[in-house]
Amino acid sequence: MSIFYNFIDRAVLYSCKGKVSELIVPTRKGKTREFFAMNTEKSLMLKDDTLFVNGDLLVNTVDGSKGFLVGLQKSTAGAVQGQLKIVNATADIVKIIAKFNGSKNIGNSEELLLSSLSVFVTDVSGTAKLYDAGLLDTTIKKVITVANTDIKLAQRIKIDGSNYQINNINTTKYPRLYELQVAVDTR
């Protein structure tokens, strides 16, 4: 018998588009006292026969919160462990199109490619840049979202009324998800 059933009284029903809803036991991540981690990341215990996979966007059917499933792995106790990055914003992806009058650039226009995209956003601090050699100098935020081939470098991402430029797309850190590095968009 799976250890999952020892915690069934704490289980919450989660849904995922195109899949059958499943019971999951969410807990806070580790013993942290950092409020950001407590509010935006959860540890999960899933049934050993779960159909959920890394990169799924899960919806808590009790409170409606959403999150990206990452770090899914089988445990030795017959259950599956994972991490949930709680969605904390929505974003629009926009293609910038230069307008010309003859050979003179007279401005830019926008073409909306993706709207109301669920994202997990974190600010990048000086300390983060010190310890993460993969961060670009101009990066001010990291954004996790569902992998989508419409997302490309140099596009604009709009989050909470602010414009950012996509400077890096990490396609390997999280399976089926993109981690974007963004900078202030001055175009």
pLDDT class of 31 with cuts at 50, 70, 90: low
pLDDT class of 127 with cuts at 50, 70, 90: confident
Beta bridge partners of 83: 43, 70
Mean per-residue pLDDT of the chain:
90
Whole-prediction pTM: 0.87
pLDDT class of 30 with cuts at 50, 70, 90: low
- Residue ranges covered by each domain of the chain: 3-86, 89-184
89-184 topology per CATH: Thrombin, subunit H (2.40.10)
Are 141 and 150 contacting, i.e. CB atoms less than 8 angstroms apart? Answer: no
Instruction: Name the helix (H) or strand (E) containing 128.
Output: helix 126-131
- Please write the tens of the pLDDT for every residue from 67-85: 999 989 987 777 899 999 9
